[in-house]
Amino acid sequence: MRNIKLVIQYDGTNFAGWQRQKDGVRTVQGVLEDALSLACRQEVKVEGSSRTDAGVHAFGLCASMLLPDDGIPTDKIPKATNDILAFDKLEGIGDIKIVSATEMPEGFHARHSAKGKRYIYRIYNCEEKSPFRRSQFYQVAKPLDLERMRKACEYIKGTHDFKCFETSSNSPRETTVRTIFELDVLKNAVSDKAFQYTVVVEGDGFLYNMVRIIVGTLVEIGLGKMEPENVKAIIESKDRGNAGHTAPPQGLYLDEVFY
Amino acid sequence: MRNIKLVIQYDGTNFAGWQRQKDGVRTVQGVLEDALSLACRQEVKVEGSSRTDAGVHAFGLCASMLLPDDGIPTDKIPKATNDILAFDKLEGIGDIKIVSATEMPEGFHARHSAKGKRYIYRIYNCEEKSPFRRSQFYQVAKPLDLERMRKACEYIKGTHDFKCFETSSNSPRETTVRTIFELDVLKNAVSDKAFQYTVVVEGDGFLYNMVRIIVGTLVEIGLGKMEPENVKAIIESKDRGNAGHTAPPQGLYLDEVFY
């Protein structure tokens, strides 16, 4: 058997998230498995590195799958599958794309083998909202203060119990301690009235909604509703109620998974 | 009565075009009229400057409407309506936005009073297609030659019978002669492997699919499949079969209407 790692991009707008659900619900895993099964001429199941929510995007989600040694060569899988994904028939409208397929050693698993992930969160900061950015940005109308947001990042980086940044869920986890390797906010001018803020965050793992709650907290700090210095106490409180709001899904992109 | 001119932006991806159709078909005019009727607390009908096709966008389509002198003040209409358009209830998901509302003299009509229009057409030229650009660009994989495309523009500018650039339709028109005031192609680097081409075209009026057929012809010239010098003969032939393909709708934006 071949153990194949796929790197996948998708625009999450028209998906009810990654995880396959009952028939009739359009999910990334569902559409991808159907297309792969057609391309590989046999039923294919994939394991994803992450279960992104509805509306969340990916530049580089990873998935692993097992395939017999005979059949379609590994390097032909992306194009063969992408051709199917761009057809309307399968409800494939070109919003998922396989970037690469690589054979991995036995035992590699997209989720269990992951050592870390990088997410990107994009904010469009402009008094005027744009219909063209609604699916790919969090549109914030009032001005954000970059320096305040950056200062807050310093309190979040490192190894902490991040219970305050988790939406309570029944998802199994042994601990709510995680390590954030990197967290920064970049600002680019789109015009003289509009700015794009890009939050980049790398960590060894993330709790449910953790990136979106970190971003919601950074936005409230950027708007002057919370103080950067309070972040330390918020984390120590381990109380979700003390952190900021959960930023909406459409600004979030799973950028890369590290192995 | 007030005669009001609205300037409207929309992402055409999730609309079956501008023109109101039977119930259950989501159109820009339909969603807009429903939202305006709620905001103005009475039934409102709008006349659009243009009937854009499914998937076509607008940065500045104009619409006119009549409203009694009492009721909501003209300058309050955009915000009141946009708030409704951003709600899910009305299938408003923020993909239409009223940019401005201005009172015009009696007799002003968004379509009949128009003296000209500017369209923008956006091409993403990259070997790798992107799921994130599929709704807002024509993605062309092979390299385009800017100078060839620009040379072809020179043959199209001016007053000509543009029958060759029209999809035959039953739409009423007295003549297929139109004047193109301006036609140019701009190129910007998105990365070292990806370029955005922007076709800008201004004219006194456009035949059905005219901009998309001009762009399809320019793309074939940019790819080396047709020669710029042939455009003169193509126009003179008045034969649609001699021109290039019809470029897809998602790259097209009605940019501005001139009065």
* Domain spans of chain B, in order of start: 2-104, 116-258
Chain A residues in contact with B131 by the CB 8 A cut-off are: 9-11, 94-97
Q: Looking at CA atoms only, how far is residue A105 from chain B in angstroms?
A: 28
| Selected catalytic residue, list A11, A34, A53, A70 | A53
Q: How confident is the model at residue A92 (pLDDT cuts 50, 70, 90)?
A: confident
Angle at B233 between CA B227 and CA B235, to 5 degrees: 105
- Chain mean pLDDT for chain A: 95
Residues 6+ apart with CB under 8 A from A71: A40, A41, A42
Residues 74-93 of B with CB under 8 A from A: 86, 93
| Residue B88: per-residue pLDDT | 66
Chain A residues in contact with B94 by the CB 8 A cut-off are: 129, 131, 134
Task: Give the C-alpha separation, B155 to B178, whole Å.
Answer: 14
| Residue B24: per-residue pLDDT | 82
Task: Give the C-alpha separation, B200 to B122, whole Å.
Answer: 9
Torsion B4-B7-B13-B16 (CA) sign:
positive
CB atoms within 10 A of CB A180: 23
CATH level 2 (architecture), domain A116-258: 2-Layer Sandwich (3.30)
Q: Is A117 exposed, middle or buried (0-12, 13-18, 19+ CB in 10 A)?
A: buried
Could you tell me if A201 and A119 are in contact, meaning their C-beta atoms sit under 8 angstroms apart?
Answer: yes
Cβ within 8 Å, pair B95-A9? no
β-pair type (A57-67, A47-48): antiparallel
Q: Looking at CA atoms only, how far is residue A134 from chain B in angstroms?
A: 7
pLDDT in tens, chain B (259 residues): 999 999 999 999 999 999 999 888 999 999 999 999 999 999 999 999 999 999 999 999 999 999 999 999 999 999 999 999 987 666 678 999 999 999 999 999 999 999 999 999 999 999 999 999 999 999 999 999 999 999 999 999 999 999 999 998 666 778 999 999 999 999 999 999 999 999 999 999 999 999 999 999 999 999 999 999 999 999 999 999 999 999 999 999 999 999 9
> Active site includes A53?
yes
Q: Is A129 on the interface with B (CB under 8 A)?
A: yes
Q: How confident is the model at residue A23 (pLDDT cuts 50, 70, 90)?
A: confident
Chain B residues in contact with A86 by the CB 8 A cut-off are: 129
Task: Give the C-alpha separation, B142 to B127, whole Å.
Answer: 6
Point out the residue among A11, A93, A131 whose CB comes nearest to the CB of B132: A11
Cβ within 8 Å, pair B134-A93? yes
Q: Looking at CA atoms only, how far is residue B94 from chain A in angstroms?
A: 6
Tell me which residue of B179, B178, B176, B222 sits closest to B199, measured CA to CA: B222
CB atoms within 10 A of CB B57: 27
Task: Quote the tokens at residue A90.
Answer: 């399968």
Residues 6+ apart with CB under 8 A from B197: B122, B123, B125, B144, B146, B149, B185, B186, B187, B222
Q: Is B11 on the interface with A (CB under 8 A)?
A: yes
φ, ψ of residue B163 to 5 degrees: the values are -55, -30
Residue reference for tokens 């203060």:
A145
pLDDT at A93 exceeding the cut of 90? no
Tell me which residue of A121, A115, A159, A113 sits closest to A140, measured CA to CA: A121
H/E stretch holding B257:
strand B252-258
| Residue A83: per-residue pLDDT | 93
Q: Looking at CA atoms only, how far is residue B106 from chain A in angstroms?
A: 30
Measured CA to CA in angstroms, residue B3 lies from B16, B47, B50, B102, B151 at distances of: 27, 11, 18, 8, 43
CB atoms within 10 A of CB B98: 22
Mean pLDDT for the stretch of residues A210-216: 98
The per-residue pLDDT for range A68-82, each reduced to its tens digit, is: 999 999 999 999 999
Point out the residue among B57, B97, B132 whose CB comes nearest to the CB of A136: B132
State which fold the B2-104 domain adopts: Alpha-Beta Plaits (3.30.70)
Angle at B167 between CA B161 and CA B171, to 5 degrees: 85
Mean pLDDT for the stretch of residues A234-254: 97
pLDDT at A89 exceeding the cut of 70? no
DSSP symbols for A143-162 = PP-HHHHHHHHHHHSEEEE-
Q: How confident is the model at residue A88 (pLDDT cuts 50, 70, 90)?
A: low
Q: Looking at CA atoms only, how far is residue B31 from chain A in angstroms?
A: 14
Fold agreement (B2-104, B116-258):
yes
Q: Is B94 on the interface with A (CB under 8 A)?
A: yes
Cβ within 8 Å, pair B97-A9? no
Q: What is the distance, to the nearest Å, from the Cα of residue B47 to the centroid of all Cα atoms in its chain?
A: 16
Could you tell me if A190 and A196 are in contact, meaning their C-beta atoms sit under 8 angstroms apart?
Answer: yes
Task: Give the C-alpha separation, A244 to A234, whole Å.
Answer: 10
Point out the residue among B11, B97, B131 whose CB comes nearest to the CB of A9: B131
Q: Is A255 on the interface with B (CB under 8 A)?
A: no
Point out the residue among B11, B131, B134 whose CB comes nearest to the CB of A132: B11
| Residue B247: per-residue pLDDT | 97
Task: Give the C-alpha separation, B88 to B176, whole Å.
Answer: 42
Point out the residue among B57, B93, B131 whose CB comes nearest to the CB of A94: B131
Which of A23-27, A249-253, B48-52, B196-200 has the least mean pLDDT? A23-27
Chain B residues in contact with A132 by the CB 8 A cut-off are: 9, 11, 57, 136
